[in-house]
Homo-oligomer: A and B are copies of this chain.
Amino acid sequence: MVLTLQHLANLTEGKILRGDPAESFSGISSLDFAKRTEISFLGNGKYHALFHETKAGAVLVSADHPCGPADTALVQVENPTLSFSKVIDFFHASKKSFVPSIHPTSFIDTSVQLDPSKVCIHAGVVILAGAIIGDGTEIFPNAFIGENSRIGNDCVIHANVSVREECVIGDRCILQPGVVIGSDGYGYQFSQGKHVKIPQLGIVEIGNDVEIGANTCIDRARFGKTLIGDGTKIDNLVQIGHNVEIGRHCIIIALTGIAGSSKLGNYVTVAAQAGIAGHLTIGDKAVLASRTGVTHDLEGGITYLGNPAQPIREELKLEALRRRLPRLFDEVKAIIKSQERPSS
């Protein structure tokens, strides 16, 4: 899989500024890691230093680019970052492991609905009775799909993922390794000195174009559904409790926990290690900074920080004042001392 400089210019609708149109390249990388046989891009002024030291064979640049190393071929394009995506697609397409096939060491119940000519089921995968696997979906080794669960079209289910029974996953979803979908919600009733398990009879329903990070867990509802809306992207090691409802196109970063029955609107951003207590509502386009702790409903469209959460400007002000506490204590001490002084 190679691309000549001329092909690169054609692919990106760019102009060769420097270099041999016949020189060929076999891959892509960032400016700092690229080798002589690889293509890179200069997408941002802050990478000029890396550009001057790059060993890349060819670099996509914009109109106002610096010269860079003399032996590096240059192709000028309007937006190097966007154009580079086309180059990525070119090389990436050749790397896909999807080959329609069902590995003989996988176990697929006879009642499972799938088209063997249109799915790729790797070794050791187990799919139980009544499940449905959509066309174009690839399931990596040792993943598990429970009874009656439905996986949409063109999904990628990575190794050692567990999707428990009755859950629904839309089209074009990606589940990174170790993801757990449909674990029991955490619900107990305290009775006669013991925590008695409350059956968790609902499911998890995930929309289209959702990605879920490695070892993230999404609990099934007590009744009804835990919902993840279309286009939402969840990072690694996130905990989503039972009956949570997350809207469309949300961003939830690593090590965040969302407790049972809370509802997030659309386009909500939750940064890393945040926590949202149960039964709360977060409005559309709210942004929670890292480590924010939410204990009451939050209006949309506002950026929050702190524990408990408040608008970020107020929290930053309080933090600034906290750092000035030593001076404040000194000032108050001085005032008291001045008062104690016998008046002359």
Question: A residues touching B (Cβ–Cβ < 8 Å)?
Answer: 28-30, 32-34, 85, 88-89, 91-92, 97, 103, 105, 107, 122-124, 126, 128, 140-142, 144, 146-147, 158-162, 164-165, 174, 176-178, 180, 183-184, 186, 188, 193-195, 197-199, 201-202, 209, 211, 213-215, 217, 219, 222-225, 231, 233, 235-237, 239, 241, 249, 251, 253-255, 257, 259, 272-273, 275, 277, 290-291, 293, 307-308, 317-319, 321-326, 328-329, 331-332, 335-336, 338-339
Contact = CB atoms under 8 A, between A and B. Distances in A.
B275 A92 contact: no
Contacts of A159: 126, 144, 146, 162, 164
30 contacts: A33-B202, A33-B223, A33-B225, A97-B147, A105-B126, A107-B124, A122-B128, A123-B126, A158-B164, A158-B183, A159-B162, A183-B214, A194-B209, A195-B233, A195-B249, A215-B217, A217-B236, A217-B237, A235-B239, A237-B239, A241-B254, A255-B255, A257-B272, A257-B273, A272-B275, A321-B326, A321-B329, A328-B328, A328-B332, A332-B332
Contacts of A219: 214, 236
A contact face: mostly helix, strand, loop, or mixed: loop
Contacts of A188: 233, 251
